[in-house]
A = this chain, B = another copy of it.
Amino acid sequence: MARVRQKNGKDRHQEILEAAARVITDRGLAETRIQDIAERCGVSPGLILYYFESKDRLLVEALTYANDKYYLAQARDLRRLDSARDQLWRLIDLSVPGLLPDFERLEEWALWIEIWVRALRDPALAKEREVLDRRWRQSIADIVRQGRTTGEFDEGEDADEIGMKLGALIDGLAIQVLMNDTQVGPEHMQRMCQEVAASLIGFELAPATSA
């Protein structure tokens, strides 16, 4: 039946995308071979190309697939919190590589850098990247807007503008932390993001804060 076939097909499809994303984080995009992905799935290399037109297409799909996955997990996580400030703090915590025990976040940032490099020369991925990056800034701006609607935050600079600034700051710091920079550790990044966020949005920072 079509249903069964489709279902199997879909599982495999997804299974391969997940395997590809993991291999990319492990070995780096440039060093990722079809063989590696096949091994991770426990199938033969030929099958990978049965499900994906080419290695390149698969890699690009895997990058955006993984990014989607992380984004959705983050959105789900944030939705549990009522206070805009709690949401913002949680968003920061989720963005600091290696802060939370869940080290999928490390993966996520490594994938982001791969996306950026590749998007420089791959128009298809370039388009995807813009959507992905916009969504990321947007999620910050939305928190700010929400906080203002409920009166938790005062009015001030345009929320989208704050999203860009804070988003860029987080990007830049996350890179340093991901690289294991000795001057920028996870807690340090967390604190700096909180400070800048407070200053941008315009509220006081309590001495000892945590989400």
- Taking Cβ atoms with an 8 Å cutoff, the residues of A that contact B are 27-31, 110, 113-114, 116-121, 126, 129-130, 133-134, 137, 161, 164-165, 167-173, 175-176, 178-184, 192, 195-196, 199
Evaluate contact between B113 and A179: CB separation under 8 angstroms. Answer: no
Task: Specify the main secondary structure of chain A where it touches its partner.
Answer: helix
Q: What is the total number of copies of this protein in its complex?
A: 2
Q: A192 near B161 (CB under 8 angstroms)?
A: yes
A31 to B121, CA, bound (A): 10
Q: Are the CB atoms of A180 and B117 closer together than 8 Å?
A: no
Cross-chain contact of A113 among B29, B110, B116 (Cβ < 8 A): B116
Q: Find out whether the CB atom of B126 lies under 8 angstroms from the CB atom of A117.
A: no
User: Bound state CA distance, A176 and B136, in angstroms?
Assistant: 12
Q: Is B117's CB under 8 angstroms from A178's CB?
A: no
From B116, B119, B164, A183 is in contact (CB under 8 Å) with B164
- With contact pairs A28-B120, A117-B114, A120-B113 given, residues A168 and B176 touching in the complex (Cβ less than 8 Å): yes
Q: Is the CB of B179 within 8 A of A168?
A: no
Task: Indicate if the CB atoms of A179 and B120 lie closer than 8 Å.
Answer: yes
By beta carbon, the residue of chain B nearest A199 is B199
CB distance from A51 to the nearest CB of B (A): 24
Q: A30-B30, A117-B114 are in contact. Are A164 and B178 (CB under 8 A)?
A: no
**A168 shortest CB reach to chain B, Å:** 3
